[in-house]
Amino acid sequence: MIVVMKVGSPEVEITRISEELTTWGLTPEKIVGKHKVVIGLVGDTASLDPLQLQEISPWIEQVLRVEQPFKRVSREFRHGEASEVAVETPNGTVYFGQHHPVVVVAGPCSVENEAMIVETAQRVQAAGATFLRGGAYKPRTSPYAFQGHGESALELLAAARQASGLGIITEVMDAADLDKIAEIADVIQVGARNMQNFSLLKKVGAQPKPVLLKRGMSATIEEWLMAAEYILAAGNPNVILCERGIRTFDRQYARNTLDLAVIPVLRSLTHLPIMIDPSHGTGKAEYVPAMSLAAVAAGTDSLMIEVHPNPAKALSDGPQSLTPERFDRLMQELSVIGKAVSRWQPAIALSH
């Protein structure tokens, strides 16, 4: 349920209403929109009468029910306004959201050694990326495959962060590693295979770093939003939703089916920012550029693209990684589409 306040409502009245609603057993959350303040309410609202609520204060314009099963993540909960996720990086604050330029996250599947991760960071930064991705802990189908360099890789990410000024996104697989990862990472990734690892969701929701939530391989959009709801319900409002391809009957040419229609669908359902990962989404480097361009044209807020200095020798996901040269070219192509939809920012404007 949400309480929409009239324009110009006094701060003290908003506080008073929130306190009163707390005594009703509800959890009020104040959301400051462009024009109005909205008080989001979570709790047992099923039995409440909106009209009765409205009588609490003459400053209340409207009381509306959130009809979706997901509450805090729903667009209605913010009365239709998009939210943004602001992340401090050495090079300045980067904003993920509908009213900001497209953010590009790039980097290798896994952190292999210091030279490669620092070089990659510098290359993708020069091309216009503002975040570095790179796995320290890798979810691998086989127990005998390379599992990531773990804790030592975190240090290499820190070095790359310092050398390039990029923000860092890396995956948590085990809640026991969360503190270590949160020390280094600017955004913490929950991978597709853990999208419904509810224990982990509660724990990333209870810490302050923004969370990148990848869609599960066969998760419906509703299930994905409910997973995000776990994080918001635990106290962390900074969630970015990342589509990375779903599993369908045809995996012969593309490894997954990149579901780009989530862009308009999520836009209408949620206020959270959207990311598209065409590298996992297709599984093949040669399909990544076309899908990246499509994602920007369709209105994505950010892209995650795998780049490796030498894809043929990558310890994981080589076939879907771009070379730095191909990535440079792609960024040029993206800037053309990005400008056409007024979502591109000259690299230089990213100030400290």
Binding site for a second copy (CB under 8 A): 42, 69, 71, 139-144, 173-176, 193-194, 196-199, 202, 217-218, 220-223, 226, 229-230, 233-234, 246-254, 257-261, 263-265, 268-269, 281-282, 286-287, 289-291, 293-299, 336-337, 339-341
Chain centroid to Cα 186, Å, comes to 12
Per-residue H/E/C for 298-312 = HCCCEEEEEECCCHH
Output DSSP code: residue 295.
H
Task: Using the minimum distance from each CB to a second copy, give the nearer residue, 79 or 255.
Answer: 255
**Distance from C-alpha of 345 to C-alpha of 347, rounded to nearest angstrom:** 6
Query: Which residue's structure tokens are 């299930």?
Result: 223
Amino acid at 106: A
What's phi and psi for 294, nearest 5 deg?
-60, -40
Q: List the 2-5 sheet strands across, edge first.
A: 27-32, 37-42, 2-5, 60-64
Task: Using the minimum distance from each CB to a second copy, give the nearer residue, 15 or 218.
Answer: 218
**Distance from C-alpha of 323 to C-alpha of 311, rounded to nearest angstrom:** 7
Task: Using the minimum distance from each CB to a second copy, give the nearer residue, 54 or 196.
Answer: 196
Q: Work out how close the CB of 123 gets to a second copy at its nearest, in angstroms, rounded to a whole number.
A: 24
Task: Using the minimum distance from each CB to a second copy, give the nearer residue, 30 or 202.
Answer: 202
Q: Work out how close the CB of 346 gets to a second copy at its nearest, in angstroms, rounded to a whole number.
A: 17
C-alpha distances out from residue 166 to 42, 52, 121, 137, 306, Å:
36, 50, 7, 20, 15
**Distance from C-alpha of 266 to C-alpha of 105, rounded to nearest angstrom:** 20
Task: Using the minimum distance from each CB to a second copy, give the nearer residue, 143 or 208.
Answer: 143
CA-CA-CA-CA torsion sign (83, 271, 70, 31): positive
Q: Work out how close the CB of 43 gets to a second copy at its nearest, in angstroms, rounded to a whole number.
A: 9
Q: Work out how close the CB of 112 gets to a second copy at its nearest, in angstroms, rounded to a whole number.
A: 20
Task: Using the minimum distance from each CB to a second copy, give the nearer residue, 159 or 182.
Answer: 182
Q: Work out how close the CB of 58 gets to a second copy at its nearest, in angstroms, rounded to a whole number.
A: 31
Task: Using the minimum distance from each CB to a second copy, give the nearer residue, 8 or 143.
Answer: 143
Output DSSP code: residue 323.
P
**Distance from C-alpha of 201 to C-alpha of 213, rounded to nearest angstrom:** 9
**Distance from C-alpha of 170 to C-alpha of 134, rounded to nearest angstrom:** 6
Q: Work out how close the CB of 334 gets to a second copy at its nearest, in angstroms, rounded to a whole number.
A: 10
Task: Using the minimum distance from each CB to a second copy, give the nearer residue, 87 or 254.
Answer: 254
Q: Work out how close the CB of 238 gets to a second copy at its nearest, in angstroms, rounded to a whole number.
A: 17
Q: Work out how close the CB of 215 gets to a second copy at its nearest, in angstroms, rounded to a whole number.
A: 10
In degrees, rounded to 5, the angle at the alpha carbon of residue 38 between the alpha carbons of residues 242 and 202 is 40
